[in-house]
Every structure is written in structure tokens, then in C-alpha cells.
Amino acid sequence: MSALQTPVRASQPQHVDTTVVETTVFGVIIAISFCHLLNDMTQSLLPSIYPNLKANLGLNFAQVGVVTLVYQLVASILQPVVGLYADRRPTPLALPGGTLFSLGGLLVLSIAHRYLILLGGSMLLGVGSSIFHPECSRVARMAAGARHGLAQALFQVGGNLGQALGPLAAALVVVRWGQSSLAFFALLSLLSCTILWNVSVWYKHHGLARLRSSARKSSAIELPRGNTLRAILVLLALIFSKYVYLASIGSYFTFYLMQRFGVSVRTAQLHLFVFLAAVAIGTLAGGPLGDRFGRRYVIWFSILGPLPFTLLLPHVSLFWTGPLSIVIGLVLASAFPAIVVFAQELVPGRVGMVSGLLFGFTFGVGGLGAALLGVLADATSIGFVYQVCAFLPLIGLLGGLLPNIERRSAASVVQARTDLQP
């Protein structure tokens, strides 16, 4: 049996000092954040070269949307499965192994001169993401100590930075050297594989014990099953709002800028880079804010807050489009670290399954949204797509239905101390 197929038994008894468990292991978090940057930068090259692929292969907007749909649906379906398996039979070496699928996907895309080959490369990228995201989210939880929001934010901001660098890399390299230059970026997957190999060693010898200790503490605030299910459904609705809007930006913002304002491909990609950089900053801020002020309030504000700005965006000039897109990215992105930690605390002991469900749903709803928005753009116009998507933040009103688990957690601690008194 190969190393990647050898699971680590979660039932192995390990004793970890409570002080050690509460310590945040920043070295591990920074390592997975950097790998998240590499992973998402290389994978975001695909939408960044859509204008080139559309021209070279004669694709319409609907076909462009299907490419995104295939990539994200594969990741959407597999991520909860990977997370559930990891909860039951942790396999640390799956982390470096998953990067090899991303490497293969980039190599296939670099030579894809037919639509079906393009779809095959997208599928391989999806498999790589399906392994990477839930497993690294588990590692972030292991290394977080008492700072779960900060750990998730640092992990996720690496992905946001990678998504922002993708269009920039496309503008500087792919636009100049062509589709075959994607093979160069495949080398970054090898670097990620090396780093994640070392993370997997820490995962096996230290991380699993820390995760079990964290799960025992979280179980004290477990909600009734019906309340938990309702809260998860609300979180999924909020993710739908956030990621369908982000899909409209990620897949079609360059086309929108070129068609409405007549800018060049490179200028449009630089605007997309600025938006994605704002998303990265918002993500980094969202985790610590959730730790300090409560994740429920951060989630509510970050989904509903962008509404005035999304309503204005389709009606302003190029001069104002940039600042408005920055504000939308900053506010909207602050939700996801809080959502992930909130969900992990709703279902203690199922970090992998919950992380896989949320990350998988983001991929699925983003891909489906991109495909449907492509069909809508073909039937109407890119401008009309942004007028429709402007109302998506209204779904943020559902945030008021989320339970206040921070208050329940504090009450559980007080009760536990009372029970210990003679």
C-alpha cells in the first residue's frame, strides 16, 4: 500500500498539554497560506485566459461558463467526500499528493487546443482543489489554538492573494507568451508539494491530537440537531449570495470593462487584480474581527453591507467603477473566515466534513452561477448581468436567523466553573 493510501488511525491515544493546544502555530498556518496562494494563483489562471481561449477556440459565453462549471462542480462534489473521509481516517500525505492533480491540470491546459481537452484540464484542477481545501482547513483548525478566526483568515487570505496574482500573472506572462506558458506555472505545484510534505509530518505527529482536544471543548456548546441544520442552511444561502456575485466578477468583469468602457484586455485584467486584492484584504480582516466582536455579526454585516455599492456599480463611470469594486470586495470577503469557523463550531468533531461542505458548496455555486450568468449574458448583455447580481446581497438579511453560539459558549464556561465549585 502506498504512503498516500495509508491512513492514520484517529483513535490512537495521545495526550497533549492544554497550554500547547491553546498555542497558535503560526509556522504551519503561514506554510498552508503560502501553498494556498500558489494553488489559487495557478488555478485562477484559467479564468484569466478566458479572453484568449474564447478567441482562439471560437467559444461563446455559455461555453466559457461551462469550463468554470466543470472545474468547480468536480471540486464541489469531491470536497465534502474528502472531508468526511479525513474525519474518519486522517491521511496526512493526501496534502502533498493532491498538488500533483493540479500540476497535471495545468500541463493539460497548456496544450489544450480542443474544447474537450480544455474541459479535461479543468477537471484535473478541480480534483486538486477538492483535496487541498478541506484538508488545509483542517490543518488551520489544528494550528489555531484559541484564535480560530485568525487562523482561517490567514489560510484563506493566501488563496485570495493567489486569485489576485493570477490575472496579474496572466497579463504579464500568458498574454505575452501564450497558452503554452501555463506549463511554467505547473512548476509551482512542485514547490507546494514539498512544503505540504513537511506540513503533513506535523499533521501526523502533533495536529491530530490538538484537533481532538479542540473538538472536546466545542462539544460543550453543541446545539439541537434541528437548530444546527437550520443554521447550516442559512450559512449556505449566505455563501450562495457571496459566491454568485464573486462569480460574476471573476468570470465576466474583464468582458464587462472591455465592452462598456472600451479598455484593453491588460487594463481590464489589472482592474480585476485590484478587486481581488481588495478581497484578500477583506478576508484577512474578517477572521480577527469575528474573534473579537462575534462571528455572527461579522457574517451579517459582510453579506448585507455591500448592497448600496452593488446597486450603484452598473450605473457609474469607469472612474467610479474601481473604487466601488474595491469597497464591495473588502466588505463581501470578510464573511467567509467567520462562516467557516462558525460552521465548525456548530458541528464539533466534523471539521473536515463541514469544511469540505462549505468549500465544495462555494465551488459548486460559483460554477453554476458562472454558467447561468454566461447564458444570461448571451441572451441579454454583460451590463444586465451586473444589474441582476446587484440585488444578491439582500440575502444577507437571513443572517439574523443565525444562533448566537458565542453567548452559549460563554454560558457553558460559566456553568462548568460553577459545577466545579464545592
pLDDT of residue 241: 92
What is the structure's pLDDT at 85? 86
Does residue 182 contact residue 106 with C-beta atoms inside 8 Å? yes
Query: Is the model's pTM score more than 0.85?
Result: no
pLDDT digit string (tens) for 390-411? Answer: 999 999 999 888 888 765 554 4
Cα of first residue to Cα of last residue in the chain, in angstroms, is 54
The dotted CATH code for 24-420 is 1.20.1250.20
pLDDT at position 177, please?
A: 77
For the chain, the domains span 24-420
Q: Tell whether the model's pLDDT for residue 370 goes beyond 70.
A: yes
Reported confidence tier of residue 82, pLDDT bands at 50, 70, 90? confident
| Listed range (8-12, 36-40, 266-270, 362-366) with the worst mean pLDDT | 8-12
Whether residue 222 is predicted with pLDDT greater than 70 in this model: the reply is no
Tell me the per-residue pLDDT of 343-356, one tens digit each, with 9 for 90 and over. 888 887 788 888 88
Which of 81, 110, 164 lies closest to 359, judged by CA? 81
Predicted confidence (pLDDT) at residue 314 exceeds the cutoff of 70: yes
User: Which phi-psi region, left, alpha or beta, contains residue 145 (left: φ > 0; alpha: ψ -120 to 50)?
Assistant: left
What's the gap between Cα 198 and its chain centre? 23
For residue 110, pLDDT beyond 90: no
Beta carbons of 122 and 2 less than 8 angstroms apart: no
- What are the phi and psi torsion angles at 226 (to 5°)? -65, -40
Q: What is the largest CA-CA distance in the chain?
A: 78
Mean pLDDT of 288-315: 89
- 223 grid coordinates: 446545539
